Chains A and B, each alone.
Chain A
Amino acid sequence: MKAVRKQRLMLLVFIALGVASAVGLAMVALQENINLYFSPAQMQAGEAPVEKTIRGGGLVVPGSVERASDSLKVKFQITDGAGTITVHYEGILPDLFQEGQGVVGTGKLDKNNEFHASEILAKHDSNYMPPEVQDAIDKAHPTNNGEG
C-alpha cells in the first residue's frame, strides 16, 4: 500500500476508534439514564428515587392481578426473578396486558416500596407462534409462561 493511502486508512481508523471509545465511555457513564425503566430488584434495593416520577418494569406475576369490583382500580405484582414489587393502577390496561407478560409503568414509588402507576404500557416478548401451539405448550407445562 502506498504511503499516502496508508495515511488515509489510518485517519479513518483513528476517527472510527476515537468516536467509538468516546461514545462508549459516555454510555458507560450514562448507563442508568439510558435504561428505560427500573427493575423490581433495583426498586427493592432502594436504587430508584422515592416520590419522583420514574418508570418501572417487569413481568406480571401470574395470579397476582386483583381488580376492584366497583372501579377501574387494579393491583398486581411485577417481578424480574430477583425482586417483586406491588403496582397500583387506575385506568384501562392495554390489550396485551397479561399475566406472565411484561409491562412498563410510569409512576411514583412510595415509601413502602409500592409503585403507583399513572400509565401502563405492555411489553411483549420476542416469541411468535400460532394460538394452537401456545395452547399445546400450556397443556404440557401448566406453569411455563415463557422467558419474556
Chain B
Amino acid sequence: MASPKWFYEFSGKCLPWVGGLALIGVLTGIIWGLLFTPPDYLQGNSYRIIFLHVPSASLALTVYVSLAISAGIGFIWKIKLADLAAKCLAPIGASFCALALVTGAIWGKPTWGTWWVWDARLTSMLILLFLYLGLIALREAITSQDTAARACAVLSMVGLVNIPIIKFSVDWWNTLHQGATIKVTKGASMAPEMLIPLLISIFAFYLFCLFVFLIRLRTEIVSREQRTSWVRGMLGVRS
C-alpha cells in the first residue's frame, strides 16, 4: 500500500476534491467571519483576524506532530514514503507558523498595545519556527539522502518536546496571551455565530494544508523515482 506508485495514483484522484473543498471552505469561513459575524463585545472588529490566526497556529502544531511521526516511521521501518512526507511537511509547517506569528503581532498591537512580548506562548511559538527552519536547513546541508533523513528524524524527535509546551504555556505560566477559547473538555467560550465560521475556517485550512502537502509529495515522488519504469512510462520516456 505504501508503494510510491500506488500513492501517486491514489492521491491524483483525491487532489481535485481536496482542493475544491478547501477553496469552498476557506472562502466560506473567511467571508462569513469577516463580513457576517457580529463584532466582539470587547475588541470590536479587530478580533476578526482570529479566522486566520487560529487556523494557522493550530496547523503549525499539527503539521509538526505529523512531521515527527512521519520522520519516526521513516527512521524505524526505513519507509521511503514516510521520509518524503516529513521532508514535504517542513516548509508547509514553517509557513503556517510564520503566518500565525505575523497575524498574532498584527492582532496584538490594537488589543494588547504591543506587537510582541516575550511571554511563554509567543516565545515557544518562535522556537517552533526556528525548529522548522532548522529542519529544512539540516536536510539541505546533507548531501546523502539517507543520512539527511536520519539526522532530521532525530532533530524532529528532539523538537517534539516543544509542542506540549506551546499548547499548555498559557495554563502553566502567567502570559499576556489569553487561554484557549476552544477546549475539548469544556466546549468553547465563544458565541455560536462566531464559533461556526471559525470551525469552518479551521477545517478548510486543514484541507488546504492537505492539498499543498499532496502536491509537494507527488512532485517529490516523481523526482525521486525518476529512473523507475512507471515514472518513465507515465512521462512517455523511452528507455
Q: Please give, as numbers and ranges, the residues of chain A lying within 8 Å of B181 by CB-CB distance.
A: 126-128
The range of chain B's interface size is 35 or more
Q: Which residues of A are at the interface with B, using a C-beta cutoff of 8 A?
A: 5, 8-9, 12, 15-16, 19-20, 23, 27, 31, 34-39, 57, 94-96, 98, 101, 104, 120-135
Complex: how many Å from CA A94 to CA B194? 25
Task: For residue B134, give the distance in angstroms from its CB to the closest CB of chain A.
Answer: 14
Which chain B residues lie closer than 8 Å to A27 at the CB level?
Answer: 165
Residues in A neighbouring B120, C-beta threshold 8 A: 34-36
Tell me the smallest distance from the CB of B37 to a CB of chain A, in Å.
Answer: 8
Can you list 19 contacts pairing A with B, beta carbon distance less than 8 Å? A5-B77, A12-B75, A12-B76, A16-B158, A19-B158, A35-B174, A36-B119, A36-B173, A37-B174, A57-B174, A96-B42, A122-B111, A126-B178, A127-B189, A128-B47, A128-B190, A129-B191, A130-B38, A132-B38
Cβ-defined partner of B194 (8 Å) among A96, A125, A129 = A129
Contacts A9-B76, A36-B120, A130-B39 hold; do A120 and B113 have CB atoms under 8 A apart?
A: yes
A130 near B40 with CB under 8 A, answer yes
Looking across the interface, which residue of chain B has its beta carbon closest to that of A125? Answer: B178
Q: Contact mask B89-109 → A, CB, 8 Å, 1/0? A: 000000000000000000000
A-chain residues with CB within 8 Å of residue B178 when the two chains form the complex: 123-126
Nearest B residue to A6 via CB reads B76
Given A15-B154, A15-B158, A23-B161, does the pair A130, B75 have CB atoms closer than 8 Å? no
- Whether B174 lies near A36 (C-beta < 8 A) is yes
B41 neighbours in A (Cβ, 8 Å): 129-131, 133-135
Other than A5-B76, A96-B43, give 18 A-B pairs with Cβ distance below 8 A: A12-B153, A15-B157, A16-B158, A34-B120, A34-B172, A39-B174, A95-B110, A101-B42, A121-B112, A125-B42, A125-B178, A127-B190, A128-B40, A128-B43, A129-B194, A130-B191, A131-B41, A134-B41
